[in-house]
Amino acid sequence: MSFLKCAFAASVFALAAAPAALAFNSPSDLAEGRSTAGQQTASLSIDDAALGRAARPTRALVPDPTEEKPGTITVDTKNRYLYLSLEGGQAMRYDVGVGREGFAWQGKAYVGRRAQWPGWTPPAEMLKRRPDLPKYMAGGVANPLGARAMYLYGKRGDTMFRIHGTNEPDTIGQAVSSGCIRLLNEDIVDLYDRVKVGAPVNVL
């Protein structure tokens, strides 16, 4: 059973196929939800050697197929790649996990904030449905958001979608989440170091 499926997709973000309300059946449906309200970039004293080295990083420098301006993130959900456009017509490409059937979405957003080893706070609506959930999960290797998270915002604020790491490398390349985009921990650390707040994000 996967422990890393996106927890909450906000209907306020006008994206194609984004559900207004989700039914959660297991902890695996709750993993990619809201982090602590108002949390700024968090830096925890956790050695990055704990990222998990079982899976090899997928990142590769390739000709940029998106033709976007440098600094733009493009997620190709069909082929399950994330591209970060660079100078000189190049892009850094990463393998990703994407939303499962019925939870995939398309649209434009931007990176509204970032966090290292992010904590996770289930929304109040989720706690009502699942009172057995912790009210807060501290960041660390067991946290479903992984080593880094980038929070996607739109015109109406937080979309509740994330680009983040994972402690389940076997889900990369799969359609298993409720809309969030996940990378291997080592890949998300590399992407995080290259991306600034305000970076545009296109999900195709």
- Coil, strand, or helix at residue 80? coil
CB 202 within 8 Å of CB 108: yes
CB 160 within 8 Å of CB 8: yes
Which is the catalytic residue, given 180, 183, 188, 201? 180
Q: Which two tokens stand for residue 146?
A: 């992984």
How far apart are the C-alpha atoms of 138 and 35, rounded to whole Å?
10
Which is the catalytic residue, given 30, 164, 177, 182? 164
- Coil, strand, or helix at residue 149? strand
Asked if 178 is an active-site residue, the reply is no
How far apart are the C-alpha atoms of 152 and 69, rounded to whole Å?
18
Asked if 6 is an active-site residue, the reply is no
What value, to the nearest 5°, has the Cα angle with vertex 179 and ends 94 and 90?
Answer: 25
The residues annotated with a catalytic role in the active site are 164, 180
